[in-house]
Amino acid sequence: MADDTNLTLSRRGLMFVLSSPSGAGKTTISRMLLERDAHIRMSVSATTRPMRPGEVEGRDYFFVSQEQYDGKVARCEFLEYATVFGNSYGTPEAQIRDGLVAGQDFLFDIDWQGTQQLYQKMESDVVRVFLLPPSLDELRRRLTTRGTDSAEVIAARMARAQSEISHWDGYDYVLVNDDVEACYARVFQILEAERQRRARQTGLIDFVRDLMRPD
C-alpha cells in the first residue's frame, strides 16, 4: 500500500501564457509570478536582435544570427516565432518539451498570435490567460504616466490595444486588472488549479493502482 508521508506525485509541466495590451499589467504580473513561485520559470526565446547591456546569453535570450534563425525556422525548431520591429524571435521547441516531461512549468509573455501558434502545437499543455484594463481611459492614463512615450506612440499603442482586445475569446481565462495584487491572486489561483488537472498528474495512475491492490 502506498505510503502518503510527504507524498509528491510526478507531474507534467504546463505552458502558462499571459497576454494583454501594453499597459494592462502583463509584465508586472509576470514578474510577480517569477519572484513568488519557484516552480515556474520564464521561457527563453531565441532572437536576432543585438544583446543589450546587462543581458545574459541563455537567461534573457538565446542570441543568434539571422542565418541561424532562418535555419531553425526551416527545420521547424520553434514552437512559435515572429518578427517584430525588424527583429526575429522564436521559442525553441526542444527545451520546452524536455522541461514539460520533467515537470517544469514555463511562463510565456506573448501576444495572441504567438499564443495561437503555441496552442496549435501543444494544445492541452497550454493555459491561456488574457488581462484586460478596467477601461480604455485607465489604459491611456497608465501609458501616459509612464512618461516614456510621445503622444503619437501612445495613440498607436491605444489603437493596437483595441485590436489585441478583440482576440479575448481565444483565451481560457480573461481577467480585469483593476488592482495588481488582486489580479495576481486570481492568476496564481488559476496556475495552482491547472497544476492539479488529472491529465497532468503523470504519477496518479500507478498511485491509484497501488491503492486498489488487495492487502
| Residue 160 placed within a domain | yes
| Residue 94 placed within a domain | no
What integer pLDDT is reported at residue 6 of this predicted model? 61
pLDDT band at residue 138 under the 50/70/90 scheme: confident
Task: Look at residue 205 and tell me whether its pLDDT is greater than 50.
Answer: yes
Q: What's the CATH code of the domain at 155?
A: 3.40.50.300
| Residue 39 placed within a domain | yes
| Residue 1 placed within a domain | no
What's the total number of domains in the chain?
A: 1
SS (H, E, C) the chain: CCCCCCCCCCCCCCEEEEECCCCCCHHHHHHHHHHHCCCEEECCEEECCCCCCCCCECCCEEECCHHHHHHHHHCCCEEEEEEECCEEEEEEHHHHHHHHHCCCEEEEECCHHHHHHHHHHHHHHEEEEEEECCCHHHHHHHHHHCCCCCHHHHHHHHHHHHHHHCCHHHCCEEEECCCHHHHHHHHHHHHHHHHCCHHHCCCHHHHHHHHHCCC
| Residue 3 placed within a domain | no
pLDDT band at residue 2 under the 50/70/90 scheme: very low
Spatial strand order in the sheet of 45-47: 61-63, 45-47, 87-92, 78-84
**Which residues are bridge partners to 107 per DSSP?**
16, 42
What average pLDDT does range 22-46 have in this prediction?
Answer: 93
pLDDT in tens, 57-106: 998 899 999 999 999 999 999 999 988 778 999 999 999 999 999 999 99
Amino acid sitting at position 91: T
Question: Which of 55-59, 151-155, 172-176 tops mean pLDDT?
Answer: 172-176
Task: Look at residue 4 and tell me whether its pLDDT is greater than 70.
Answer: no
What's the chain's average pLDDT? 91
Q: Which domain holds residue 153?
A: 15-43+104-212
* pTM (predicted TM-score): 0.86
